[in-house]
Amino acid sequence: EPEVTQTPSHQVTQMGQEVILRCVPISNHLYFYWYRQILGQKVEFLVSFYNNEISEKSEIFDDQFSVERPDGSNFTLKIRSTKLEDSAMYFCASSLREGAKNIQYFGAGTRLSVL
């Protein structure tokens, strides 16, 4: 069964460093998303991406964050200068369509630890 793949599973970084989280969405999906879950809190939407551009972003997704689809398979989330509060599980998701019947399929996540 097709699945969303995320690497690495755990990333440890120093505050102020740049990190890139990688995702391979399901191959025929057109919409891509990043969510995060801070320990003990809800899963929160960060950004959605369609047709090589951001279609929606949350307040969390500030200038320190960027997304890219560098080739036909990868979808990345970059955090330019990490802060302690960026420590969280980051989930990538993909879907075939948006709006009604928008079933998003999630990867296993990357645990980001900022020290």
Partner 1 sequence: DQQVKQNSPSLSVQEGRISILNCDYTNSMFDYFLWYKKYPAEGPTFLISISSIKDKNEDGRFTVFLNKSAKHLSLHIVPSQPGDSAVYFCAASGSNTGKLIFGQGTTLQVKP
Binding site for partner 1 (CB under 8 A): 4, 6, 31, 33, 35, 41-45, 48, 50, 55-56, 58, 91, 93, 95, 98-109
Question: Would you say 14 or 39 has its CB closer to partner 1?
Answer: 39
Is 114 in contact with 13 (CB distance < 8 Å)? yes
Closest separation in Å from C-beta 85 to partner 1: 17
Closest separation in Å from C-beta 79 to partner 1: 19
Question: Would you say 1 or 63 has its CB closer to partner 1?
Answer: 1
CB atoms within 10 A of CB 9: 10
Closest separation in Å from C-beta 81 to partner 1: 25
Question: Would you say 7 or 44 has its CB closer to partner 1?
Answer: 44
Compute the distance between CA of residue 102 and CA of residue 74 in angstroms, rounded to an integer: 21
Could you tell me which residues come within 8 angstroms of residue 13 by beta carbon, excluding any fewer than 6 positions away? 19, 82, 112, 113, 114, 115
Compute the distance between CA of residue 97 and CA of residue 82 in angstroms, rounded to an integer: 32
Closest separation in Å from C-beta 71 to partner 1: 22
Question: Would you say 14 or 62 has its CB closer to partner 1?
Answer: 62
Q: Which two tokens stand for residue 98?
A: 């948006």
